[in-house]
Amino acid sequence: MSWKKSIEELRRRERLSEKMGGEEPVSRQRGRGKLTVRERVAFLADPGSFHEVGKIAGKATYGPDDELEAFTPSTSVTGRATLDGKPTVILADDFTVRGGASDAAIWQKMVQSIRMATEYRMPLVQMIDGTGGGGSVKSLEKDPRTYIPETPGWNEIVHGMTQVPFVSLALGPCAGMGAGRVAASHFSVMVKELSQVFVAGPPVAIALGENVTKEELGGWKIQGQNGTVDNVVDSEADAFEAARRFLSYLPPSVHHLPERTAPTDDPKRKEDFLLSIVPTDGKTPYKPRRIIEAAVDRHSFFEIGHDWGRGMVCGLARIDGYPVGILAGDPFFLDGAWTADVCDKVTRHMDLCSMFHLPVVHFVDCPGFAVGVKAETAGVTRAGVRTMTAIYQASVPVCSVVIRKAYGLAGSAMMNQSRTKWRYCWPSGDWGSLPMAGGIEAAFRKELAEAENPEELKAQLYRKFEAIRSPFRTAESFLAEEIIDPRDTRPLLVDFMHHAARIVETGEFRHGYRP
C-alpha cells in the first residue's frame, strides 16, 4: 500500500493548473503582446526560487462517479521567491481566467499572500492584470442576489503597508479592486500601451456619457502624469527590473535597517563642473539631475515619479553604499515652485523614507509655493501645509544642500528646522521671506515716483540690496551654517551618511494629525 495514486492525482491537477485559462485565452493573451502569469513569475523571480502556494486551488467539476471532469484554476498565482537573493512574496493575476474577475477567484489566496509578507517580514510584489473586483452582471444569473459591498483583505493591505514594502506592477487593464491594489502600494509601475488603470472601464464611462477607449480613460499619459502610478516603462521586462531596483534600496520590513552595500565609488570624488553648473544670473535654469549624479554613488540614482509633480525630482540612491532618499528642486518647471502636485509628491516621498529608515538629502531650489488662481484652485495652500507637516514629522535625518533659491513657507520646509540643521549652502544661495525682484519697486514706490531719475535710483537700490543678500552676510550671523565649495558636496554628504547611520532606528513609522 502507498499513496502513489494520490500523488499522481496531485500531479495531474498541477498540470491542469499550469494550463491557466486554456489554449484559446492564453493565445489571446500572447496576441496582445502580454506574457502569461507564469511567464511573468519566471521572469521576475530568481531562477528556480519560486515556491507556489495554492497551485491546485480553483473550480472543479465532478462527474457522476465523483471523478474530476474539468478544472479551472483561480485567477491568481501566489507564492514565495527570491529577488536578487532576497525573500519576497509574489501575488500575480491571471487574466486568461475570466479576465481576472473576482467572481472566478479565491480571494483567500490574496489575503494569505499579504499576511505572509507582513508576518514574515518580506516585501510583496503584485503583478496586476484584471478587475479583481466583483466580476460582471452575468455573475448574477448564477447567484441571483446582490450584496452590500465588502473588500476582503483590505484590512490586511492597510496593515501590511505599515510593515513591508508593497510594489504593484500594472500589466494589463486594472479596474475596480485591481486599480485599488495598484494605488495601494509604496511603488507602482505601468507599461506603456499595455496597461490601463481606472475605477471602472469604458462601458461604465460610456453609460455616463463619456465615449472613451481604455487608453483614453486610464492610460499611462493620464495615470503617469497625475501620480496615480509612480513610474511608466516601455515593457514588462522593464517593469520587473524597476521592481527589483526599487526593492534593492529598501529593507525587507520596517523592523530592519536598509542594507549598506560595498562602496563602489570614491567617497572623496569631486566634480569640477559643479563650480559653474548654476548660472550666475540667478534666473537661467540648470539640470538638477546632474548635481544628484555628481553627489551620489555613480549610476545609483533611481528616479521615482518623473512624469508628475515635475518641479521636484524624487528618487533613491546610494552614498558610499548607504541607501538614501533624494529630493531636488527642478527650476525647469515654474522655477521649482511647489504646486499642489509637487507638495503631494514630496509628502509621499518623505513618508516612504521615514517608513523604511532612509536618510534624506534635499538639494534645495525653491522660490516658494506656486502663486496664482490656477495654483489656488488646485489647493496649493492645504497641500503645502500638509507637506510642511510631513517634513516636520519625518523620523529620519535630513541634510539640506541649498543650491539656489529658498523663499517663503515652502523654502523654509527644506528640513525640520527645529532639529539640528545639517545643512550646506552653495555660494549661489538666494534666500529670504520674499524675492528681491519686484519687492524693491513695491517698497520704494513713493521714492521712485518722486525721484528725478527713477532708473538711476532703482539701480542704486538694487546694488545696495544685492550686497545685503550676499550669502556671506547670512553666514556671519550663523543663519547659514556652512557655505561650501560645490565641489565638496559629495565628500560632505558621505560624512553625513556615516553619521546618519548611527542614529536611524527600526520600528513602525507613526505620525500625528496632518491638516
Three-state secondary structure string covering 309-333: CCCEEEEEEEECCEEEEEEEECCCC
The pLDDT value given to residue 70: 87
- The set of cell numbers assigned to 381 is 495652500
Q: Are 299 and 248 in contact (CB under 8 A)?
A: no
The pLDDT value given to residue 448: 75
Taking 70 as the pLDDT cut, the residues of the chain under it are 100-105, 131-143, 433-439
CA distances from 365 to 231, 261, 262, 387, 497 (A): 23, 30, 32, 16, 21
The pLDDT value given to residue 441: 73
Find the Cα–Cα–Cα–Cα dihedral 437, 443, 447, 452, rounded to 10°. 10
Which contiguous run of DSSP H or E holds residue 28? helix 23-31
The pLDDT value given to residue 456: 79
- Classify 190 as helix, strand or coil: strand
Which candidate, 327, 320, 336, places its Cα nearest to that of 289?
327
- pTM comes to 0.92
Q: What is the DSSP string of 447-487?
A: HHHH-SSHHHHHHHHHHHHHHHT-HHHHHHTTSSS-B--GG
The pLDDT value given to residue 141: 67
The pLDDT value given to residue 510: 93
The pLDDT value given to residue 439: 67
Give the Cα separation of 54 and 73 in Å (integer).
Answer: 10
Give the Cα separation of 104 and 148 in Å (integer).
Answer: 19
Find the Cα–Cα–Cα–Cα dihedral 321, 325, 330, 335, rounded to 10°. -140
Give the Cα separation of 416 and 425 in Å (integer).
Answer: 16
CA distances from 366 to 209, 426, 428 (A): 42, 14, 13
Tally of CA atoms within 13 A in the half-sphere of 392 that contains its CB = 16
Domains by residue range for the chain, with CATH: 9-249 (3.90.226.10), 272-434+470-503 (3.90.226.10)
- Alpha carbon 496 to its chain centroid, in Å, reads 24
Tens digit of pLDDT for each residue in 304-339?
999 999 999 999 999 999 999 999 999 999 999 999
